[in-house]
Each structure stands twice: as structure tokens, then as C-alpha cells.
Homo-oligomer: A and B are copies of this chain.
Amino acid sequence: MDYTEQIISFHNFIADECIPGVSLDCAIFGFHDTRLKVLLLRWKDTSEWCLPGGFIYKTESVDRAAERVLYERTGLDKLFLQQFHLFGDAVRYDREEMWRRQKMPMSFSERWPERTLSVGYYALVDHTQVTPTPDFMTDECRWWDISDLPSLLYDHRQIVTVALQTLRSQLNWQPIGLNLMAEKFTIPELQRLYEAVLDKPLDARNFHKKIMGLHILTRLDERRTGKAHKSPFLYRFDRENYQKALGNGNLSFV
């Protein structure tokens, strides 16, 4: 099957097997080189970018659909995945314009509903542990710095914006740091993550004092190599204390 046949067959499958009028889209965040990144997919044969998204089988929970769709579209699984908002504006985007920008190789089908609501999910990954793989509709998966995004298809820019606001507001009761940081990290690296999510600089001395006061980090007998004896110690999260602090909403320290 060539791409045209594949996508027509896929759209027919969705119309047969999925809940009509409801999609889901996922903002996958990673942290790399002191920057917060989001994973975008370049649509086949175009220079248009979008979030990975898809549809819900008629007999499947929406949460399960989110896991499946992410896996199908990017090859990633077992991610920390949270539903955060239903995007339900009466007109979310110009459907025919999107169809054109995506260079869909067939005309718009009457089997598609007039309007689609989309359930927004965010996922957090340790950037060092994953290698996204494009599916048949995608030429490329690429991490983009959240402060330097390209133009996005649909209302996906707004979905990223709301996902980021959600991360900010949930910093003290969801395991944001635990899921975004590599296994071992220095305190300044963790501070960069908080600065990236909150989009503001933090005072280093204050950050150090407060995070140590939470007792959620274990100092390792290792240093970040490279800078002789001044190189900083590595830490990892004490998962038990971390969970306890989350349960109390107690990670609010900046």
C-alpha cells in the first residue's frame, strides 16, 4: 500500500471503529541541555508540525486510548501520562485549511463529523531514555524548545500553552521533577528544570536551601565530572520521601 491508500484505509478504520467527534492530543515534555522541550511530529510530505494525537476505540477508556495512540504515533510507552483539559471550543480551527496544509491525498470525507472535541494529555519523559519513532503519517519526530516553537497545525499551539500552565500549577503535587530528570543530576541542573517550567530565574542559594529542606534528594558518592574538584555532587530522588511530600502537596518551595 502506498501512502494514499494507507491513509484512506486508516480514515475508514477510524470512522468504523472509533468514537465520532472526539480526539485526543498529547504534549510530551522532555528536559535537555537545561531547556524544556516538547515533541512535535512533522506531517508526511509537508513542513507542518503537530502534536501526536488520535482517536478512541468505541470500547476503550479514554486514558487507555491515550497510551495506545502515543505508542502508535511515537513508539514511546510507559510514560507518566496525565489528562489535563478538554478542548471544546465551537470552532477550534479551519478544518479545510488544515486538510490542505497536511496535503491530504483525498477529498474531505462525509464520514467525518462537523466538529471534533479533543482531550488534552501531557506526558513527561526522561529525554535520555527515549528514542521517538515516526509512524506512516509522519516524516520526523523532533524535540522543540518550548520558547521557540514552529507554527503548529490545528489548535495545537494552544494545547501546548495550556499544558505548560498545568505543569506550572501542578509542580507541587505531581511528580514533575521525578519524571523529567535523568536518574542522576546536580542541584543546579534541577534548578534549571524548575526555572524552565516556571519560566523565571530562581535564586540559587534559596533554591538549594529549600530543596534540601524537603529531604527528597539523596546525595550520591559521585560528582559531575569535567571540572576538577569543584565539580558538583550528583543526587537522585528519594522516591519514598518524594511520594510523601507529593501526598501532602508539599513540593511548593519556590
Contacts and interface: CB of A to CB of B under 8 A. Distances in A.
A143 to B, nearest CB: 27
A83 interface: yes
A253 B89 CA distance: 35
Contacts of A168: 249
Nearest to A92: B61
A88 B115 contact: no
B19 A115 contact: yes
A183 interface: no
Interface stretch (A27-35, A41-49, A169-177, A201-209): A169-177
A14 interface: no
A86 B86 contact: yes
Contacts of A119: 86, 88
A90 B59 contact: yes
Interface string A14-32: 0000011110000000000
B62 A114 contact: no
Interface in A111-147: 114-115, 117, 119
Contacts of A63: 88
Contacts of A60: 90
Interface in A35-55: none
Given A21-B21, A252-B252, A61 B86 contact: no
Contacts of A64: 90
Nearest to A88: B62
Nearest to A63: B88
A62 B117 contact: yes
A58 interface: yes
Interface string A230-244: 000000000000000
B61 A90 contact: yes
Contacts of A21: 19-22
Interface in A84-100: 85-86, 88-90
A181 interface: no
Contacts of A89: 61-62
24 contacts: A20-B20, A20-B21, A21-B21, A21-B22, A22-B22, A22-B117, A56-B88, A60-B90, A61-B88, A62-B86, A62-B88, A62-B89, A63-B88, A83-B85, A83-B86, A83-B88, A86-B86, A86-B119, A168-B249, A169-B170, A169-B173, A169-B249, A172-B252, A249-B252
